[in-house]
Amino acid sequence: MSQQVHAGIDVSADSFAVAYELPGQALHETRLDNAPAGHRTLCRLLTRGGRPARVCLEATGSYSFDLALALHRTKGIEVMVVNPRVTTDVMRARRPRTKTDATDAVAILEFVQRMPVAPWQPTAP
């Protein structure tokens, strides 16, 4: 069993939905403010106890950039930022009856659990 945490994040302007699985536990979901305090809370949650984490979020321009940077800068977190078209295809394959930020986060979680991670690197300043 992997000791790694996996997380999928659906980002919007004011908040983000997170679906994550801790080693040996069931699915957890939460919503945090898309602000520095929410970013720090997520980073602490994912790396608690020194666990490594693999995180995937969609590239949503200015909405996701600061969160991606915070995750990238946190030791132990491997972050992947993907084109929203990729995760849309995953969501279509799942055929959910409802479409919410939370269901999108779960689909992104499933994506990061199954696909090889292409680590995101921010552009040079």
Structure-token pair, residue 59: 């590239």
Residue 8: beta bridge partners?
Answer: 19, 56
8 A C-beta contact, residue 56 and residue 82: yes
Output the pTM of the full model.
0.82
Q: Are strands 15-21 and 5-11 parallel, antiparallel or unpaired?
A: antiparallel
Q: What is the pLDDT of residue 2?
A: 54
Q: pLDDT tens across 68-114, in order?
A: 999 999 999 999 998 887 766 666 666 666 677 778 888 888 878 87
What angle, 0 to 180 degrees and rounded to 10, lies between the N-to-C axes of helices 62-73 and 36-47? 40
CATH number (3.30.1490.20, 3.40.50.10860, 3.30.420.40, 3.30.450.80) of 5-114 reads 3.30.420.40
Q: pLDDT tens across 18-67, in order?
A: 999 987 888 999 999 999 999 999 999 999 989 999 999 988 888 999 99
